Amino acid sequence: MPNNLNSVDFNLDHIFQHDGISSTLTGSFASPDVFPMGLTIDENGNLNSTDLTADHIFQHDGISSTLTGSFANPAGNPRDMTIDENGNLNSTDASVGFIFQHSGISPTLLGSFASPDGLPEGLTYDGSNLISTGTSADHIFQHSGISPTLLGSFATPKTTARGLGYDNPNLISSDDDFNFIFQHSGISPTLLGSFASPSSRPAGITIEIVGPTTHTISVSDTLSLTDTFTRGTWTLARSFTETLSISDSIAIFPTRTRKIIRDTLSFIKTDLLNNITDPASSSRPSNSRFIMSSYPTRSIHYPLVTIKVTNINVIRTGSQSNVQDVLLNLEIRIWARNEKEKDEIYTDIINRLNDIQLTGKGSIGNNLHDFNVLSSVEVDEEGESGGQIIKSRILQCQYSFYNIL
């Protein structure tokens, strides 16, 4: 199953969703402001974008125009960005010629260093090393880890490289002057192909991981391996009874979310939005959401429900099979203004998830089996205004996916 390219164009001010790595589009939507530049997808499958006019980094809800928050860029000229294996954002800024390392996806910085190009643009990560480009030297640079130390460089396909993406094992780049997107052979100047961008000014690009990848592993009770495809780490919590050699390989779904996580979050969120009553529907601001698939960073209007995936276990069904069963843990958290409101929302959610288990368009219809409540924990937190105590309950539940190829 191919991965999907997402690209941005600052002529049309749109973000485009491609079918695979091709010029065919499956959709598009307006960018948050009028000069979009950079794109990346985080570990929860949420798009993040930068805008030159707003000097902001925007956090999207999934791959959509809906925003869950934004924050100011470290300097005044944001360009591209990428996510590393720790889930930290890395961004470039052309006004100061620096690459910034963020703490998570936030304005807090862990560090920064000078870009090898005085006008940095594109940025991506191959699971171990940062890759950057700029419009001054017209070169693509391979960094050692996330540092200014370089492993090598090579000329860009044309003259104005704006965006970089990584579709393991191949680099993808975009060129503003030539208006093309290029597919490289590995991380090299050799090209496998190219195609016209959706409009005339392509900039940031990012890859949405939607399929499995293959890893060669050795046997132990608990296996941990690094997925360079998605810049993350799997832990396979399973005791193998069969004998595997060091050269045996299995295909596993990438940990940095993508399709299986995105589809689950989308289904649960959409169903709850359509079937759970929002106690504050009459007073909720237009920029607020009752149910979200990420923690909000903008102004919060209670009550609120957040949904996120906290863990995935992948179990191979046999020694000679690439078919797997997947256990997916969800955290559904209710944030309410009082105990009564919290209990009512919690009860509605539990009842709804129970009711749709066996319906054609419910859980099983979306390949979500064996709904199981793992825990329910009470947490009281201080709210944003006037020291209000927010009543919160964290529901941990689990679903099973079977026979995943």
287 and 157 within one domain: no
Instruction: Give the pair of three-digit tokens for residue 340.
Output: 């009564």
137 and 183 within one domain: yes
294 and 194 within one domain: no
Q: What is the CATH number of the domain that holds 317?
A: 3.30.2000.30
**What average pLDDT does this structure show over 266-285?**
88
Range scoring the smallest mean pLDDT among 14-18, 80-84, 107-111, 295-299: 295-299
Cβ count within 10 A of residue 6? 22
- Taking alpha carbons only, the member of 192, 160, 195 closest to residue 37 is 160
DSSP output for 319-335: TT---EEEEEEEEEEEE
Q: What is the CATH number of the domain that holds 33?
A: 2.120.10.30
273 and 395 within one domain: yes
Q: What is the structure's pLDDT at 291? A: 87
234 and 186 within one domain: no
Q: What is the mean pLDDT of the chain?
A: 81
Q: What is the structure's pLDDT at 222? A: 44
Q: What is the structure's pLDDT at 211? A: 52
The answer to whether residues 305 and 291 touch, using CB atoms and an 8 Å cutoff, is: yes
Q: Domain count for the chain, please give it.
A: 2
**What average pLDDT does this structure show over 156-174?**
90
148 and 270 within one domain: no
Domain boundary among 208, 243, 273: 208
**What average pLDDT does this structure show over 195-205?**
87
Cα 40 vs. chain centroid, distance in angstroms? 7
Q: What is the structure's pLDDT at 276? A: 92
- Taking alpha carbons only, the member of 29, 40, 30, 131 closest to residue 78 is 40
Range scoring the smallest mean pLDDT among 126-135, 180-189, 273-282, 287-296: 287-296
68 and 185 within one domain: yes
The answer to whether residues 204 and 47 touch, using CB atoms and an 8 Å cutoff, is: no
Containing domain of residue 385, as a range?
213-404
Cα 404 vs. chain centroid, distance in angstroms? 21
**What average pLDDT does this structure show over 348-374?**
85
**pLDDT at 49 exceeding the cut of 70:** yes
* Distance between CA atoms of residues 237 and 240, nearest Å: 10
Looking at per-residue confidence, does 63 or 300 come out higher? Answer: 63
Looking at per-residue confidence, does 213 or 368 come out higher? Answer: 368
Residue 350 DSSP symbol: H
pTM of the model: 0.59
* Distance between CA atoms of residues 87 and 110, nearest Å: 13
**What average pLDDT does this structure show over 309-330?**
76
Task: Give me the helices (H) in 218-258, please.
Answer: none
Beta strands in 238-368 (DSSP E): 249-252, 291-292, 304-316, 324-336
242 and 147 within one domain: no
325 and 257 within one domain: yes
Looking at per-residue confidence, does 361 or 343 come out higher? Answer: 343
pLDDT band at 45 (very low <50, low <70, confident <90, very high): confident
194 and 221 within one domain: no
**What average pLDDT does this structure show over 159-179?**
89
Residue 382 CB contacts under 8 Å (≥ 6 apart), including other chains: 388, 389, 390
Domain boundary among 208, 226, 260: 208
**pLDDT at 342 exceeding the cut of 70:** yes
Residue 194 CB contacts under 8 Å (≥ 6 apart), including other chains: 157, 180, 181, 182, 183
**What average pLDDT does this structure show over 332-348?**
92
SS3 339: helix
Range among 113-127, 255-269, 317-331 rated most confident:
113-127
312 and 204 within one domain: no
The DSSP bridge pattern shows strands 291-292 and 304-316 to be parallel
**pLDDT at 85 exceeding the cut of 70:** yes
The answer to whether residues 60 and 49 touch, using CB atoms and an 8 Å cutoff, is: yes
Q: What is the CA radius of gyration of the chain?
A: 22
Looking at per-residue confidence, does 319 or 47 come out higher? Answer: 47
The DSSP bridge pattern shows strands 14-18 and 25-30 to be antiparallel
Domain boundary among 180, 208, 236: 208
pLDDT band at 132 (very low <50, low <70, confident <90, very high): very high
241 and 258 within one domain: yes
SS3 271: helix
